[in-house]
Structure 1
Amino acid sequence: MIGTRALLRRLSLCVTWILATIATPVGAVTLSDLYEADQPVLNNARDAAFVEALKTVVIRVSGQRDAPERLGAALNDPRKYVQRFGFTVDNVLQVGFDSVSVDRMLQEAGLPIWGRERPATLVLLNVIEPDGYAHWITGDQPNAQKDVLGRAARARGLPLKWPAVDPQGIGESNALEEAERYGANAALLGRVQGGMVRWTLVTVDGASQISGGLDDGVHMAADTFARVFAASGSSLGNVLVEVSGIGDLDAYASTLNYLEGMTLVRSVALEQVSGDTMRFKLAVRGDAATLRRAIALDSRLVSQDDQTAPAGERLTFRYRP
């Protein structure tokens, strides 16, 4: 006869499995802490801690790992970019930098800006122990390898998700489908063996691979996404966006708030209404192709354009409630 505790555990596992099999709407993650950093103060060198914190932020915001070298002497006076700061009891600097000032510094150095809307990535990490035992890392278990990946992802501004249960029959061919079930935009497959990790990043644009340490998979993903979504801060253009399926005031407000809230978008103006279709004129950082890719991260506006064709100056979508 099954005891009460064992029965409750079985029920809990069943509920977890059911929830994991229900598809979650895919959506970008909006990060509110891109311009914040926690930096340990070494040897009581507080000025050096401010410099290191600013280096972390410029890499995260630009998406470029060489941003500190390209900024050079501009990083020598980090306090002029500080908005707020404090020190914890264990001597960790917690600092928030002014986003406008940091963006201006990046723009003047010719560096791009990667906005707050970032693709969520499902990590599928399979660990092969020395005795040959293989197991998956899931989201409900504390794990040192998860901690390493989490720190690297925090430094790069890359939102990670973990599977609720052990994936079954997962490979490069169906990893993106698994990611979509968890509401993620990409999948990062890792196979750990003998201290090395073979990483494969799978996105709608294809797959790429690298072998190295635990954090190398995070860097590969962040570098890949930055090339696609980061835009020059100095290039502003106008893009017409037509959205059909806007049948009431709530749909209009939801669409307008979404477009205005995007980091790439500097302004939105309603130009025309025809039935349930509205045409907006957007001033955007970057171009129409970058905007289309950013909107594709979220499922609320479904593209009606040919995804294989270059984006023109007008993009068409359908509103999805």
Structure 2
Amino acid sequence: MDIRHPIVRLVATICALICSCAASGLLVEDLYQAEVLVSDQSESALKNGVASGLQQVLTRVSGDTGVARHQSVISAMRNPDRYYDEHHYQTTNRQLVVSGELANAKLLTIRFEPNAVSRLLREAGFSVWGSERPGIMMWVAQAEEDGQRRMLGESDPDVLAAAFQVRARERGLPLLWPLMDLEDTGQVSTAQIWGQFLGTVETASVRYRPDCILTGRVQKQGGRWVGRWSFRLDDRWQNFDTVGFDADEMVVSVMDRLTAQLAQLYAIDASRGDITVTVEAVDSLEAYAAVGRYLSGLTPILDVVVNTVEGDEVSYQISMEGQPDQLKELIDLDEAMVVVPTGRRNQLRFRWIQ
């Protein structure tokens, strides 16, 4: 294809603009929705399906894979009716084993009530993780049985890519896959991903503006799936290995590890307190109103009161759930304001940039 053709240049320009505008922090849709396969539309199948769906949602919203072991959560899953407000069925071509025989399965979709789920988690002492989640840039090279190596992509039909998509959906983690267009292939190769050239990976990731990066090499050895991974979070790389009897088992261990670390950083715990937040560069009535709306809309903030207005600086008294550092991380993720260091834990300062 001739890149000099004007239509091709236009498409390339649009793709580049889309990538360059990819915001840090991505909105995860249907955070409180679950899908479960059931054998029929009976009351017992519905109750069991809703209980399973509630466990999915509680894990996704808390970021804690052990949430279902808490006694109050166990009790809630025994009587899950008050936690959801809508459900429907769809016919599928999949099957379930029922009483030792294969039966056609239906897909049960349940929409849970966000306030009820959040209240259950807080009362049980778990964190609540909002719908804005860090985007994870994926650079994964896989060795085929014939020795050839290739890079995985979002629409890749391979079982490994499919496992990542399914588990990321379950955990509420947005994945960013490389386009592998001329810009990508000009900066990084499959061999460099396999060799874990981390500096090269960082450079190639800049255009996607991810919040963190996962790069790995995967191959089958002795009937097992073996992965070697590097994960970049908070400007630091960490390395780890995984082994699974199949692709899904290996991917589960990877995604659970990432979920635990990201939830610890971004999910809001059940503690409450007051802090002072000062915002600079509030230089118009429109900006003043926009900052107020923005702060009031953040998940951990319960109440916002204006303390003082001096020039283009506005000081707010904020009642919030969680820790001040978590609020700072959340605002940094959103990129509506930039942090101005203060050296004081309960006094945060930002500059409005929107």
For this structure pair, what is the TM-score category when the shorter chain's length is used for normalisation?
0.7 to 0.9
The aligned counterpart of 1:201 is 231
Segment of structure 1 superposing worse, 150-159 or 170-179:
170-179
After superposition, where does 1:242-281 map in structure 2 within 5 Å? 242-281=278-317
Q: Is the 8 A contact 1:272 1:279 kept in 2?
A: yes
The answer for the alignment partner of 2:257 in structure 1 is 220
Are 2:153 and 2:161, in contact at CA under 8 Å, matched by a contact in 1? no
Unaligned runs of 5+ in 1: none
Decide whether the 8 Å contact of 2:281 with 2:313 is kept in 1: yes
- Residues of 2 paired with 1:143 and 1:133: CA distance? 14
TM-fit CA distance, 1:220? 1.6
Aligned to 2:131: 116
SS state at 1:125 partner = strand
How many residues align? The count is 314
**Residues 242 and 36 (structure 1), Cα distance of their counterparts in 2 relative to 1, 3 Å cut:** same
Deviations for 1:64-110, whole angstroms, at most 9, x for unmatched residues? Answer: 10111112222101112111111113321111111111112112222
Give 1:159 shift. Answer: 1.1
Q: Note the C-alpha offset of 1:120.
A: 1.0
Counterparts in 2 of 1:50 and 1:18: CA distance versus 1, 3 Å: closer
Residue 154 (1) aligns with residue 206 (2): no
Residue 46 of structure 2 aligns with an amino acid whose one-letter code is R
1:24 to 12, 21, 25: 21
Which of structures 1 and 2 has the larger relative contact order (alpha carbons within 8 angstroms, sep 6+)? 1
CA contact (8 A) 1:140 1:164 kept: no
Structure 1 equivalent of residue 68 of structure 2: 68
Determine if contact 1:175/1:202 at 8 Å carries over to the other structure.
no
In structure 2, do the counterparts of structure 1 residues 129 and 202 end up closer, same or farther at CA, with 3 Å as the change threshold? same
The correspondence for 2:217, drawn from 165, 187, 191, is 191
Q: Who is 1:319 aligned against?
A: 352
| TM-score, length basis structure 2 | 0.79
CA distance in 1, matches of 2:279, 2:287: 10
Distance change (3 Å), C-alpha of 1:245 and 1:206 = same
Q: Distance in 2 between matches of 1:156 and 1:139?
A: 17
Change (3 A) 1:250 1:117: same
1:81 corresponding residue in structure 2: 83
Partner Cα separation in structure 2 for residue 221 and residue 12 of structure 1 = 38
Shift of 1:284: 1.2
Structure 2: gaps (5+ residues): 93-105, 244-249
> Which structure's CA Rg is the greater one?
2
Change (3 A) 1:98 1:22: closer
State whether residues 28 and 173 of structure 2, in contact with CA within 8 Å, keep that contact through their aligned partners in structure 1: no
Task: Evaluate the alpha carbon distance shift between residue 111 and residue 268 of structure 1 in structure 2; reply closer, same or farther with a 3 A threshold.
Answer: same
Q: Deviations over 1:15-58 (max 9, x none)?
A: 17971896436421233421111111146622211111000011
